[in-house]
Amino acid sequence: MALGVGYAHQDCGLARALEIVGERWSLLIIEDFFYGVSRFNDLIAHLGISRAVLAERLASLTAAGLLIKATRPTAHAEYKLSKTGKELWPAIFSLIQWGQRNNSGHETREYIFTHSACDSVIDNAGYCETCREVPGPENLFVYKAPDGRERDDLLTRTLEAGPHRLLVPIRA
């Protein structure tokens, strides 16, 4: 039996969320915005996504209110997360942690997150044991784990150079 193409007949919060972020690539694009990747060409380089698919996803995420397109004219299309988009951080973080723990039967870590206030590593639940709080993305640093994948793109080079504060745009 073929799957339906939408969730219109599902009346629950998860179905409504999936209508917006459930398409392939959408959550990966949003994740990159948390890391500071904000330019069209940098998203293509990091994600390996086609230009057409990225353009379509950026348009749909912008229309849904998760992204804001820069209004100033620049040589490169640039976006940032809206307040609504930033609210996805707990879900994105949880999925990152779940994926790292359940990757091919063994735990792998691509990125490590630390609390900017005390430099303590954030646990799998997003909790800083030192400060006894769950910091928001604006209070987190991310860096490449020693066992993370080898890649050559702007995000990876930035994280290899040292911790990077989430939500701060990365520039070449």
With a pLDDT cut of 90, the percent of the chain lying above it is 65
CA 106, 104, 154, 69 torsion-angle sign: negative
Q: What is the mean pLDDT of residues 4-21?
A: 80
| 1 within a domain of the structure (yes/no) | no
- Tell me the residue range of the domain where 67 lies: 13-165
The pLDDT score that the predictor gives to residue 2 is 45
Number of domains in the chain: 1
Residue 138, in any domain of the structure: yes
Does residue 31 lie in a domain region? yes
Any domain includes 112: yes
Report yes or no on 150 lying in a domain. Answer: yes
**pLDDT per residue as tens digits for the range 31-46:** 999 999 999 999 999 9
CATH number for 152:
1.10.10.10
Tell me the average pLDDT of the chain.
Answer: 89
Q: Does 119 score more than 50 pLDDT?
A: yes
Whether 93 maps to a domain, the answer reads yes
The CA–CA distances, whole Å, from 34 to 41, 89, 122, 130, 155 equal 16, 8, 16, 23, 11
